[in-house]
Chain A
Amino acid sequence: MNGAQLKEHIERTWPGQASCRLDAEARVNEVTCEPGALAALCGDLFHERGLAFGGLVVEEGREDWQLRYVFYGARDSGWVHVRVTAPLAQSVFPSIAAQAKVFAADWHEREAEDLFGVHFEGHPRLGDFVLHDDVWQEDVQPMRRGFDAATAMNNRLPDADWRPRRVVHESGAFMMPVGPKFSGVTESVHFQLETVGEDVIRSWTRLFYKWRAVEKLAEGKPLEDALLLAERFAATTAFAHGLAFCQAIESIAGASVPARAQTLRVFLAELERLRQHAGAIQEICESTALVVATSQAGLLEEELLRVSGALAGHRYLFGLLAPGGLAADLPGDACRKALAQAAGAVARLDELEGELAISSSFLDRIEEVGVIFPRTAVAYSLVGPVARASNLARDLRRMQPYSRYDAFAFDVPVEEEGDGYARLRVLFAEARQSLRIMQQAAADLEAGEVRAAVTPRPGAALGWAEAPRGATLHWVRLDDAGRVARYRIVTPSFTNWHSFHLAAEKFAFQDFPIILSTFDLSAAENDR
């Protein structure tokens, strides 16, 4: 169903309760909906129309709450933004996770309740999500306009009796705590594995140990400083996040980025994807303790980091992006040199893949382990290699092409099994495709400017990118002074962490770190 058909369908099915405004060029359908019809409408879009749920943006207006549910489909369906409003005093909305069974919205609603105090009716698990109950009392609402950080921090009443919820009722069942400090070099995340012995019956993830309140911090900042935050909150995929932010700004300002900058942006984004995938492959090999493969993959990751550093001056590509294009030009020779080195790395990745495919002890540990079923991937709107390994062929570069991606030919590899090995195969295949794109980009580099002027003006827009871990959405609203008024980031890790517990269940403790490594999740990206 394309955008026009969607508009017609919505207005026909919910007359008087939902009205659409279609921006055909931007392929955005903005639906203004009554709270009463919200659950049914969202349920229809998600289940019946098969759109993906991108995220929930909550904004506190002067007098009302403005909630924006972002859905997206394939190219012609475009984006659907479902907007609901309610007076500030009346901050209750229906929970589409509970009432419309859009499970993908679950965590978005919990985050909104913790940070804004918006209540979602029917949701049974609100609270203790971002603000840990054993540190914060209820009703803190830090994202509200009137929030006074000093008072809040000095008057805290944590719950001294906080206990994790126990779900398993079996004699002898206990909870095995993992973290926040565990293993060797890992991010701070806490898991509770409920078990009666070796098999994990139920797994619970506690995130937001690394919550830095980036969305709050960005408010009031000028564009360049907000871009710093966008790059540095999840720096292993800094370029992708920075790109999504810049695209949001360019969309608000109506600026058009020069072709050379677009091509270079694609080149750099794919270089980052290649490097991040090499790192993910290294993590998977390390989790299975296959030392030589770990070293091989580690070599490749370091090489790609050095390639990035030599090309851009910073190993993680900080400081290259600017609203309107790139901050500085990259000479074509440097790009071609980087491309040659990347090609060598991919060739060795291919070799590594071949060697792993015949290592039965390695395969034993990741095949049929940590399975995400296709229906789960759809129900949770998973993104990235995790989704594509579970037969969900969603890639924003294909569905909603941005930058110059629609000028390049590439495949989106998809696997069906949804197990650890499928995810690994997707990583290897995507690395090859990244090289393919880089080769096309380097061959298609026309001379020209790399930066267009961007005058910030008030407005709001969604910027997006297919980061190495999956789709990321950056919603930016600029105020009259051209500063950031609201910055909402939906990250692929936030989306995928939601489903991780399902993959870990029914497997043994020893499989847990392996399953975790095959997901390539980042707590920094999730927590912001």
Chain B
Amino acid sequence: MKWVLSGIRTGIHTTAYPSAEERAAGVTPGLPVGTALGAEAAVLAGRCPTHALEERNGVVTVDYRRCVHCYRCRPALAWRSDYEWAGSGAGRGELSGPFLRSTHILVVDAGDCGACLNEVKQLNNPYYNMHRLGFFITPAPRHADVLLVVGPVTDHMRVPLKKIYDAMPTPKRVVAVGACALSGGVFAESFVCGKGASTLLPVDVEVPGNPPPPLAILHGLLVAVGRKPPATLASGSAG
């Protein structure tokens, strides 16, 4: 009984997203915004450890799949403090129909550092409460509609990840979460790491960030089922 009272006393903390924007402090680390910098652009682009910054004609463009939040490009580049970052991948369209409000997600750790996984875990806490949007975590691929991959896909996890993907019934979508799953992140050069989930599976939704905050992952899931349009953050082209 005390638990019931304790719960009632705590009150409701759930975010209004996606109906309204979430503005609390600390919900997102933000991402850099491509800017025209003139002569310094080339120097700045060279400083990025994962080659996420490219310089073309004095304009710095950002490949969001590679940004690992090292913050070396601050304060030269402006910083965006939103969280709706998920973009489309290979493009099989969204899962619509019955999955719009009831989606079962299988989370596979393909070598992540723990931060992306922890952010995914936060989706179940009262602040985000993804159940209210119809998202559920399932442990078995046979019941899963969406495969959420974190990590750069280490060598030892290649076979398990492929088996997991094959065990899922169609229709299915793959959401790659985090810089490691999109491009390998800081581990891209390691000989036992892949350069992301797209080397092995068709990725439908890409959520950049290192780690992407829970709201960005939520946005990615909403994109996967078609309740939100994908973001058009520049990835490799003029931003």
Contacts and interface: CB of A to CB of B under 8 A. Distances in A.
Q: Touch between A and B in complex, CB under 8 Å?
A: yes
B71 A301 contact: no
Given A187-B109, A235-B115, A306 B26 contact: yes
Contacts of B106: 181
A213 B190 contact: yes
Contact of B125 (A217, A232, A295, A355): A295
Contact of B111 (A186, A210, A238, A308): A210
Interface stretch (B86-94, B116-124, B228-236): B116-124
Contact of A216 (B114, B185, B191, B211): B191
Given A232-B68, A235-B211, A210 B151 contact: yes
Nearest to B115: A235
Contacts of A311: 26
A309 B114 contact: no
A301 B26 CA distance: 12
Contacts of A238: 115
Q: Taking each of A152, A180, A229, A522, which has the highest tally of chain B beta carbons within 10 Å of its own beta carbon?
A: A180
Interface in B23-50: 24-30, 49
Interface in A336-366: 351, 355, 358-359
A296 B6 contact: yes
A212 B117 contact: no
A442 interface: no
Interface stretch (A7-15, A77-85, A313-321, A414-422): A313-321
Interface string A158-195: 00000000000000000000001111111110000000
B114 A180 contact: no
A236 interface: yes
A186 B109 contact: yes
B177 to A, nearest CB: 12
B113 interface: yes
Contacts of B190: 212-214, 216-217
Contact of A185 (B4, B117, B189): B117
B27 A292 contact: no
A305 B117 CA distance: 14
Contacts of A282: 125
A89 interface: no
Contact of A309 (B28, B107, B108, B155): B28
Contacts of A224: 49, 70, 72
Contact of B69 (A181, A184, A210, A318): A318
Nearest to B29: A314
Interface string A283-320: 00000001011011011011001111111011110110
B26 A181 contact: no
A42 B3 CA distance: 52
Contacts, number: 189
Q: Taking each of B121, B152, B160, B213, which has the highest tally of chain A beta carbons within 10 Å of its own beta carbon?
A: B121
A295 B7 contact: yes
B210 A232 contact: yes
A384 to B, nearest CB: 16
A402 interface: no
A523 B111 CA distance: 9
A208 interface: yes
Interface in B192-238: 192-193, 210-211, 213-214
A507 interface: no
Contacts of B27: 306, 309
B157 A293 contact: no
A305 B122 contact: yes
B68 A228 contact: yes
B60 interface: no
A359 B4 CA distance: 13
A208 to B, nearest CB: 7
A409 interface: no
Contacts of A188: 108-111, 157, 160
B152 A306 contact: no
A298 B125 contact: yes
Given A233-B113, A315-B29, A319-B70, A292 B24 contact: no
Closest 7 A/B residue pairs (Cβ):
A309-B26, A298-B125, A306-B26, A149-B191, A235-B115, A310-B25, A310-B26
Given A290-B3, A359-B3, A524-B113, 18 more contacts: A153-B155, A184-B138, A188-B108, A209-B157, A212-B190, A224-B70, A232-B113, A235-B114, A299-B13, A299-B125, A306-B27, A309-B25, A313-B29, A315-B26, A318-B70, A319-B71, A355-B2, A355-B3
